[in-house]
Amino acid sequence: MTDTAPAGRRDAFDSGCPSRTILNHVASRWGTLILTGLLEGPQRFHVIRDRVDGISEKMLSQNLRVLAFDGLVAREVEPSSPPKVTYSLTPLGTELAGHMSSLLGWITLRTDEILAAQERHGEG
């Protein structure tokens, strides 16, 4: 499949489909947490970093850049010294983050069951 295929004909199961790249961006651990964290509203870099425990500044910066490139996150710079940069979800990002939030909620709700299954699997 090529990049010129109509949007309705894209197939994420096809290794050449551009949606695979987007899936990698949003379904990564950091992408998912950043997007769902921004559902709380516009945030400065340090707030996102502190909210997404364990992410390095380098990884946060890289992920925000990619998510902005994908049109999911907006970056607003206030002219001041030093400049204040705020990140927020675009309408497209808000739509996606709502779905990702449901996924995170399901994982949180079912974590004990999944851990029990892992334990049972380890005993076999």
Domain of 30: which CATH number? Answer: 1.10.10.10
Q: Residue 33: which of 22, 57, 12, 49 has the closest Cα?
A: 49
Q: Token match 């999911």: residue? A: 72
Residue 52 has pLDDT above 90, yes or no: yes
For the stretch 57-98, pLDDT in tens is: 999 999 999 999 999 999 999 999 888 999 999 999 999 999
Residue 2 lies in a domain: no
Q: Token match 């998510």: residue? A: 67
Cα Rg for the chain, rounded, in angstroms?
A: 17
pLDDT at 10: 83
pLDDT at 2: 43
CB atoms within 10 A of CB 93: 24
pLDDT classification of 1: cutoffs 50, 70, 90: very low
- Count of domains observed in the chain: 1
CA triple 71-74-79, angle to 5 deg: 145
Residue 1 lies in a domain: no
* Domain assignment of residue 115, given as a range: 7-123
What does each C-alpha distance from 11 to 31, 66, 97, 104 come to in angstroms? 21, 22, 21, 24
Residue 89 lies in a domain: yes
Burial class (CB in 10 A: 0-12, 13-18, 19+), 40: exposed
Residue 65 lies in a domain: yes
For the stretch 15-42, pLDDT in tens is: 899 999 999 999 999 999 999 999 999 9
